Chains A and B, each alone.
Chain A
């Protein structure tokens, strides 16, 4: 071989050449001191890389890590709802919560708009509170949105009534809009299911109860917005 096989020498060092290729390189190395020296140097570099040792960081990085994980909770893709009494966790995707929030925001705007145009006849109101705000673990929900607290049964009744109205009048809403309503209601329902599952193992957790109340209130808000839009289309 006359030309220097420089580009193949790393593969030669790593023993990645075919037998024929290796034979050609070795034949060349037998007669070329320059390439033979290069192979020795490459082997030295590889050996040096394999001897690299690890050393701990010069400064203790743990305090910064501890601060950041305390701030972040369990992850950027999920919101961790950690029980205060144990390691059980509930995770809700941010996309779910954002979608639900957007739905509430859009529908609240729509509700305000229709409310300004029409009297609120037929709008389902949240039942009056029957226990002081702040009561938890007794079937009564406490929302931190400023809405009146609902008992579970009252919530179910309110939702059923709104859904009945929507079933009757829903065809008056533009199909694309109705589809968006349904999609966001499904998201909210999923969040409610997850929160309820978490509460089964920790029924007195204040955070989870508050979160459930807020999410249920969002469903009420969305359904009210939908029914208002339907009425506005009459």
Chain B
């Protein structure tokens, strides 16, 4: 993966511009690694929207709050491993994705909701064209089968390459490509009328 937030690096910088800077984040991360919760709160304030947005798209609205909290708790636990080689935003983004993928992997053992659950697709209402509303795109995402949804979010929203997705999700590049195409076709049904 490139150093920086793939595909959405610009939006990350724009988001963080109001609340944090890479230099400030690095300082706060070091303070937080020493136990300074106020510094860690500043990091949370600067990156909560980014992490929460990712969580919403990966797992849906209902679980996004809990997952966002889990991500920041996990980040707190792993702050000792943050060396500052990449931006804090990049680092916590990867922490978030790893946690989300691991969580979903474990859930696969607990429920019968797999990628072939096409029946769910027909339940979602028809949406207007995608450029008209980001909320509608996120709502349409919730109707996707899990694996296709994850690949779509990682590739088309987060900007990861297929070989990176394949590594993260422990699938082949070919599977990543086929799932992406499948997701886009399903999204097309939802968004393009």
Binding site for B on A (CB under 8 A): 7, 9-11, 16, 38, 41-42, 44-57, 59, 61-62, 64-66, 68-70, 72, 74-77, 82, 86-87, 89
Contact = CB atoms under 8 A, between A and B. Distances in A.
A68 B57 contact: no
A59 B68 CA distance: 12
A51 B131 CA distance: 8
A59 B65 contact: yes
B48 to A, nearest CB: 5
Contacts of B162: 16
B186 to A, nearest CB: 9
Interface size class of B (residues with CB under 8 A): 35 or more
A23 B59 CA distance: 39
B44 A65 contact: yes
Contacts of A59: 65
B48 A45 contact: no
B95 interface: no
Contacts of A54: 11, 15, 49-50, 52-53
B73 A69 contact: yes
B35 interface: yes
B37 A66 contact: yes
A8 to B, nearest CB: 8
* Among B53, B184, B187: residue with most chain A CB under 10 A: B184
Contact of A57 (B36, B40, B65, B129): B65
Contacts of A51: 131, 134
B154 to A, nearest CB: 11
